[in-house]
Each structure stands twice: as C-alpha cells, then as structure tokens.
Amino acid sequence: MPNALLAASLLLISGLPLVGLAAAEPGTGPSPARQLELRALLVQDCGSCHGLSLRGGLGPQLLPEALANKPEEYLVATILHGRPGTPMPPWQHFLSEDEARWIAQLLKRGLQ
Amino acid sequence: MSWFGLVLDGSPRINANVSSGTRDSGLRTRLRFRWIALSGLLLGLAAPISADPLATKLRGTGDLGLIVERAAGSLQRVETSTNSILSRIEGLGDLSHASLVYSRDARFAYVFGRDGGLSKVDLLESTLVKRVVQSGNSIGGAISQDGKLIAVGNYEPGGVRVFDAETLELVADLPATPVNGKPSKVVGLVDAPGNRFVFSLWDANEIWVADMSDPKAPQLTKFTDIGRQPYDALITPDGRYYIAGLFGEDGLALLDLWQLDKGVRRILPGYGKGEQPLPVYKMPHLEGWAMADDKVFLPAIGRHEVLVVDMRSWEEVGRIPVHAQPVFVMARPDGRQVWVNFAFPNNEKVQVIDSLSLQLIHTMEPGKGVLHMEFEPRGEEVWLSVRDLDKVQIYATEDFRLLKELPVDKPSGIFFTDRAHKIGL
C-alpha cells in the first residue's frame, strides 16, 4: 500500500507537465503547470508585439490601467478570435476559452 | 644566458635602464641586466598577467559582439575568435525587441530598447557609458554615414529623434504624420549614403527620407500612399534601394534612392494571389535580409514561403516552400546559403536554402524559440539564439555541425562588430 501510494504520487509529479498541456476541465481554470506555460506565452510571445513588460509595441499596451474600461468578454473574444484588419491574430488554436479567460483576468489584475 | 638576453630585448622598460647604465663596465652591466631580467621573470611567474596595464588593455574589437538578454535587460559581450563569453553588461532596461548599431571605430554600441531607452555601451571597457530614455516606446535605430548621429524610430510618440553620437544629446525631432490625432508609428529606420535616414510610417502608409547634412535643419522628402501598413524595411548593401514590406496588402514598396524623382513603386503585387493569408504570430524582419546570386530572398508574410526576386527586374523568380512562416531570411556573407528561422508556434527549427538551386538543403531543430541568427564576418560559423533553452548555439555553416553552446539568459538579437562598416546595419 505505501508502495502504491508512492507510485501514485510519483506519477502525479512526473505527469504534471503532461496534465498541464491538456485543456482544463470547463470552469476549473488551468492547472498550475499550465498557468506557468500561459504566463511564459504571454510574456514571450504576446510580448513580441505588446512588449515583454506589456507596455506596448506594434500592439497596444496591456497594463491594467489600459484595460480598465475593457470588459472581460471583449478581451476573451479578442484573444480567441483576433482583431480583423489589425495584426492581432486569433489564438483559439492554442488556447481554450477558459485559458483565454484566465489570461484576460490576469491582464486586468496585472502580472506582478 | 641568451635566453635572458632575449627577455631583456623584449622589454622596453629594461631597455630604458640600459641607457641610464652606460657608465658601468660591460660585465657589471650584464650582471645587473641578468638580475633585473630574472626578477622580471619571477614577477611574471607570480602574476601571469603582464605588469604593464597598457599591454593587458590593448586589443581590437573586430572579433567582438553583443548578445541581447531581452528579459534580464542585459548584454553578453562575446568574442568570435574563441567562441566565448567575455563579460556581461547590465542595467539597460526593457530589451524586448532590442537592436543595436556600432560606432565607426567599433568600440561603442548604441542599444535601442523597447522602453524608449537609448544606451551607449563601451565594448573595450565593458561598461554602460550613458543611457537616456528618449521616448515612451521605440523600435530600433540607425547610425549616420559620418558616424556622428544616432536616429531612433519611435512608436510612442511616433516619429524619429536624432541624437549626437558622442553625448546622446537631442539634435533633431521629426514627429511623424498624425493618424486619428496620434503621430504614426515608425518602422524600418535605416541609414543611407549622403548622411540620410530613411524610414516608414506604419499608420500613415508613408516613406520619409531625412537628409541630415545639416543636422540642425533636416531636409525631409515624403512619399505618401506607398501601400498599407509597412511593417519593416531593408536597404540594399550598396545603399541604393529601400524596400518596405507591407502587412496590409500583398506586395512590397520599392524606393530607388538614386532616383527619388521616380517615386515609390510596388513590387510583387498580389503575391498571395487572393489566398487568405495565415494569422501572423510574429512579424517578419527584413533587416537581416538576404541577397545572393543577384537574387533577393524575402520572407512572405502570412505564408509558409520564402519569396525570391530578381534584383535587376524586381520580378518574382521563385518561391520556396518552407517549414512555417519565416521571420529572418539571411544570406551567409558569401551568399552561397540562405538561412531561415520561423514564427511561433513553429520557432524550433531552422532551414537552409541553396541560393543557386533554390532547394532546401538542410533542416535542423536547435530547440524552441530560435529568435535570431548572426553569421561570423566571413560566414564559416553562425550563432543562433535559442530562447527557451537559454542558450546560444554555434554551428559550422559548411556541414551544420554544432560546435559550441553558450549559456545566455533568454537570448534574442546577436550583433557582431563587422556591422559597424555596413550600410543599413
């Protein structure tokens, strides 16, 4: 029994990144490991246009002050579907709706 | 004996002693010399670094370079002769999308940070000499032909500011054409012969040529309606043609700087032939463009293709299907190979094109986040930034062997000092 428990916890630890890659259950939000991936994506890849510190670049600033009057739904839709006519691409192939929502909430709250 | 003599001959300070000791007999002089030489030798053994501070400092900068650590806001100072890191320079602010240019003596680098910071770095002393925050948000810059002016392209507020290369004091301010009440963002800023800067306006669809012959009174020539949303630009190594890539439409805008009166013409119009372009997760760069065998190799935007253009007619002569959307398309200095890296989510690979046959000859997978490539000045080796591995990898370009890996924190741009003497870099 202790062996089985140990095996189970080892499986849990080693399986964490894999679990992280799978889309989260609706409503539960991304797993901790997936949250780390999303943060890296936000800083490194969204940062290509919006700046690593999200102070803007070719794309607009994404700091909480700049997003204060933008509804969460609007941000989620922009992340998932992009903004036609601008360089903002759709991210729906890489993010579930829950993940886009988690990012939108993080942006409104601030990264720090 | 003669070995000590050799040491004596090789040291100018001991030679100075020789002239002051001319009254001594020959034997005493020789003995003294031996004693001085011996103590010098022992000193040398105790401290392997020469006692002469000048001797330790004398070196060239021709084999030096800087690598941007974009998240840490620092630079790694590197040497291509030994493929090694020499030191780290810190405190440069937000270096996302940072680029730099070199002074004409290749001693100083001017670093353009995302946060509007303009920093002057000393490659010999490995120090940050000066840093000014000249705007809210900048995209890159250029150094003038005479080496006296540094121009920075800004997003916020949109326009170009020109600084004294010595002091970093503001010399000229060139606000861009406003669109919806805001000055347009500036992209694709390069230097051109005649002490000119050339740049494009993203929102206003314009190309400007600023003649800085009199730095206090810049002469501007503006070209309007050059095509929708120029996103970056390049200038040919001879400084003649300026080409802006267009995000808002298929095609590129070409300006012949030898014949400004002919205006801007469109090249490769409709290269997508009405196909829906793919979403772009990273804008391609034209700065590190490729010219080889009288052909120009350009990244297609929104397509998994490299476009090949004949340099005489500016007609398309081919398209090369590649792994994903290209970001940098760069020719090895001899033009024999063209190396391509790619945008998210396919930025783990690098492909190599034979410039003569236009065939892909090699695909490698350095790791996730290959952001930049820089050839050593004569092209025998190439350095790649692999962001997610926190490494810079060095490859032999002839057989694609991995030669060395250097630890660098989230590396992006790599810049060697041979850029100091190239138009447009």
| Residue carrying structure tokens 């490991």 | A33
- What's the full length of chain A, in residues? 112
Token pair for residue B58? Answer: 């004398």
CA neighbor of B419 nearest in space, from B187, B237, B221:
B237
Token pair for residue B66? Answer: 């800087």
pLDDT digits (tens, 9 = 90+) for B154-164: 998 999 999 99
Beta-bridge partners for B219: B211
A58 Cβ contact list (under 8 Å, min separation 6) = A49, A87, B139, B155, B185, B187, B202, B231, B283
Minimal C-alpha gap between B45 and chain A (Å):
49
**Contact status, residue A62 vs residue A107, Cβ threshold 8 Å:** yes
Q: How confident is the model at residue B343 (pLDDT cuts 50, 70, 90)?
A: very high
Q: In the prediction, which pLDDT does B48 show?
A: 46
Residue B44 has pLDDT above 90, yes or no: no
Q: In the prediction, which pLDDT does B274 show?
A: 63
Q: Phi and psi of B29, rounded to 5°?
A: -60, -45
Q: How confident is the model at residue A7 (pLDDT cuts 50, 70, 90)?
A: very low
Q: Which residues of B234-269 are buried (b: 16+ CB within 10 A; e: fewer)?
A: bbbeebebbbbbbbbbbbbbbbebeeeeeebebbbe
Rounded mean pLDDT of B378-396?
97
Q: Given its phi and psi angles, is residue B322 left (phi above 0), alpha (psi -120 to 50 degrees) or beta?
A: beta
Q: Which residues of B14-30 are buried (b: 16+ CB within 10 A; e: fewer)?
A: eeeeeeeeeeeeeeeee
Sequential DSSP letters for B255-270:
EETT-GGG-EEEESTT
Q: Which of A97-101, B4-8, B180-184 has the lowest mean pLDDT?
A: B4-8
B45 Cβ contact list (under 8 Å, min separation 6) = none
Name which residue leads in pLDDT, B230 or A44: B230
Q: How confident is the model at residue B135 (pLDDT cuts 50, 70, 90)?
A: confident
Residue of B94, B112, B155, B281 to mutate when probing chain A, most A C-beta within 10 A: B281
Rounded mean pLDDT of B26-51?
49
CA distance B241 to B316: 16
Token pair for residue B68? Answer: 């941007």
Residue A64 has pLDDT above 90, yes or no: yes
Rounded mean pLDDT of B138-147?
94
Name which residue leads in pLDDT, A65 or A28: A65
CB interface of A with B, residues 72-111, below 8 Å = 82, 87, 89-90, 94
Cα–Cα–Cα angle for B222, B228, B231, rounded to 5 degrees:
85
Residue of A46, A48, A83 to mutate when probing chain B, most B C-beta within 10 A: A48
CA distance B311 to B388: 37
pLDDT digits (tens, 9 = 90+) for B359-376: 999 999 999 999 999 999
In the three-class reduction of DSSP (H, G, I as helix; E, B as strand; rest coil), residue B175 is classed as strand
B276 Cβ contact list (under 8 Å, min separation 6) = none
Q: How confident is the model at residue B52 (pLDDT cuts 50, 70, 90)?
A: low
Q: How confident is the model at residue B35 (pLDDT cuts 50, 70, 90)?
A: low
Token pair for residue A27? Answer: 């409503």
Type of residue at A65: E
Of the partner residues A43, A45, A57, the one whose CB lies closest to the CB of residue B114: A57
Rounded mean pLDDT of A78-97?
93
Interchain pair A47, B96: CB under 8 A: yes
Residue A6 has pLDDT above 60, yes or no: no
CA neighbor of B356 nearest in space, from B300, B310, B315, B295:
B295
Q: How confident is the model at residue A44 (pLDDT cuts 50, 70, 90)?
A: confident
Q: In the prediction, which pLDDT does B289 show?
A: 63
Residue of B96, B346, B412 to mutate when probing chain A, most A C-beta within 10 A: B96
Residue A73 has pLDDT above 50, yes or no: yes
CB interface of A with B, residues 40-59, below 8 Å = 43-45, 47-49, 51-53, 55-58
CA neighbor of B257 nearest in space, from B124, B423, B380:
B423
Q: In the prediction, which pLDDT does A48 show?
A: 86
Q: In the prediction, which pLDDT does B288 show?
A: 58
**Contact status, residue B235 vs residue B214, Cβ threshold 8 Å:** no
Name which residue leads in pLDDT, B285 or A74: A74
Q: Which of B264-278, B382-396, B400-414 has the lowest mean pLDDT?
A: B264-278
Q: In the prediction, which pLDDT does B246 show?
A: 92
Rounded mean pLDDT of B127-138?
91
Type of residue at B176: A
Q: In the prediction, which pLDDT does B376 show?
A: 97
Rounded mean pLDDT of B166-179?
96
Q: In the prediction, which pLDDT does A112 show?
A: 74
Q: How confident is the model at residue A111 (pLDDT cuts 50, 70, 90)?
A: confident
B161 Cβ contact list (under 8 Å, min separation 6) = B134, B135, B151, B152, B154, B170, B172, B173, B174
Q: Which of A57-66, B17-26, B305-314 has the lowest mean pLDDT?
A: B17-26
3-state percent helix, strand, coil for chain A, nearest multiple of 5: 60, 0, 40
In the three-class reduction of DSSP (H, G, I as helix; E, B as strand; rest coil), residue A2 is classed as helix
- Express as a percent the part of chain B with pLDDT over 90: 73
In the three-class reduction of DSSP (H, G, I as helix; E, B as strand; rest coil), residue B190 is classed as strand
Residue B387 CA to chain centroid, in angstroms? Answer: 18
Q: What is the pTM of this model?
A: 0.82
pLDDT digits (tens, 9 = 90+) for B81-116: 999 999 999 999 988 889 999 999 999 999 999 889
Sign of CA dihedral B246, B248, B249, B250: positive
CA distance A48 to A58: 9
CB atoms within 10 A of CB B225: 10
pLDDT digits (tens, 9 = 90+) for B190-217: 999 999 999 999 999 999 999 999 999 9
Interchain pair A51, B94: CB under 8 A: yes
The mean pLDDT value of chain B amounts to 87
Residue B327 CA to chain centroid, in angstroms? Answer: 16
Q: At what angle do helices A72-81 and A97-109 cross, to 10 degrees?
A: 130
Residue B399 has pLDDT above 70, yes or no: yes
pLDDT digits (tens, 9 = 90+) for B231-280: 999 999 999 999 999 998 888 999 999 999 999 999 988 776 667 778 88
pLDDT digits (tens, 9 = 90+) for A17-27: 333 344 444 55
For chain B, how big is the Rg over CA atoms in Å? 25
CA dihedral of B373, B377, B381, B383, whole degrees rounded to 10: -30
The mean pLDDT value of chain A amounts to 80
**Contact status, residue B393 vs residue B402, Cβ threshold 8 Å:** yes
Residue B30 has pLDDT above 60, yes or no: no
CA distance B44 to B21: 23
Token pair for residue B161? Answer: 């500011």
Based on DSSP, count helices (H) and strands (E) in chain A, helices before strands: 6, 0
Q: Is B282 on the interface with A (CB under 8 A)?
A: yes
Q: In the prediction, which pLDDT does A91 show?
A: 95
